[in-house]
Copies of this chain bind each other. A is one copy, B any other.
Amino acid sequence: MSKATATRAAPVPRTRRRVPREVRIPQIARIAEDLFGRFGYQGTSMDDVARLAGISKPVVYDLVGSKEELFKLCLARSADEMAVRVAAAVEAAAEEDRLRAGALAFFRFVDEHRPAWRGLLSAGSAPLTAEMAEIRRNQAALVAGLLIQGVSSGHSASSPGSGSPGPASATDPAAEPPTDQTAATAPVIADALANAINGAFEALAGWWQSHETINADDLADLMVQLMGPGLEAMAGIAAGPKGAE
């Protein structure tokens, strides 16, 4: 039973290279990201993932737990990356340009990740209401927190309160909406507002999939026109109630 017994042409590499978790997990994540993006959640099977990774299914399960967790992992990777990009863009922009800067960064990110976006963050697959909500909430809190500050009155240089570049990892349940005195009437309202804004961005990104002739700048402009005036008015009220209603 030495290695010489079955000397027929082995279709599989003679000695299976073993790969540590820290390498295999990202590899699986990349493969799954691609598959989920192209075929959606339902259209992707764990057998496919395993086969493309060159390993067997139990290994995949050992490493990522379940199909849902794998999806969650992919989601978190994208969400984190996007949060970093948007936050950086917003902070780098002048106060009065933060909305446009954030929007632009968002749409540019989507543009670069079309295939993955299609099946991941866009509608069409997610079985994870809770997880999606979590990510959405974090993203919303971040965006709205920064935007409300940036739009507020045109002052307050760059004191982003708690989360400066730390993008509030999607897996991190912290990142409550900044309850500064500048936040709108109540933190709950700011939360709602953030979710509405986020939903608009998400929906527009989804719509973009079937209208690729439009470019990111136009979409960013559109969002600025749509929500800029309203946000300014609200921030004005928050900063100093002048025109009550």
Query: Which residues of A are in contact with B by a Cβ distance under 8 Å?
Result: 40-42, 122-129, 132-133, 136, 188-189, 191-193, 195-204, 206-208, 210-211, 214, 219, 222-223, 225-234
Contacts of A122 in B (CB 8 A): 129
Q: Determine how close the nearest CB of chain B comes to the CB of A155; give it in whole angstroms.
A: 21
Contacts of A225 in B (CB 8 A): 230, 233-234
Contacts of A195 in B (CB 8 A): 203-204, 206-207
Let me know if A196 and B204 touch, CB within 8 A: yes
Copy count, this protein chain: 2
A226 to B196, CA, bound (A): 9
**Neighbour of A200 across the interface among B40, B42, B199, B232, CB < 8 A:** B199
Q: Determine how close the nearest CB of chain B comes to the CB of A96; give it in whole angstroms.
A: 14
**Neighbour of A125 across the interface among B127, B211, B223, CB < 8 A:** B127
Q: Determine how close the nearest CB of chain B comes to the CB of A130; give it in whole angstroms.
A: 9
Let me know if B207 and A203 touch, CB within 8 A: no
A188 to B210, CA, bound (A): 11
A196 to B227, CA, bound (A): 10
A132 to B211, CA, bound (A): 16
Given contacts A127-B40, A127-B125, A214-B188, contact A222 B196 (CB under 8 A): yes
A195 to B232, CA, bound (A): 22
Contacts of A234 in B (CB 8 A): 225-226
Q: Determine how close the nearest CB of chain B comes to the CB of A45; give it in whole angstroms.
A: 14
Q: Determine how close the nearest CB of chain B comes to the CB of A139; give it in whole angstroms.
A: 11
A83 to B148, CA, bound (A): 32
Q: Determine how close the nearest CB of chain B comes to the CB of A230; give it in whole angstroms.
A: 4
A204 to B200, CA, bound (A): 10
A120 to B233, CA, bound (A): 34
Closest to A118 in B: B129
**Neighbour of A196 across the interface among B41, B136, B223, CB < 8 A:** B223
Let me know if B227 and A192 touch, CB within 8 A: no
A122 to B130, CA, bound (A): 12
Closest to A224 in B: B230
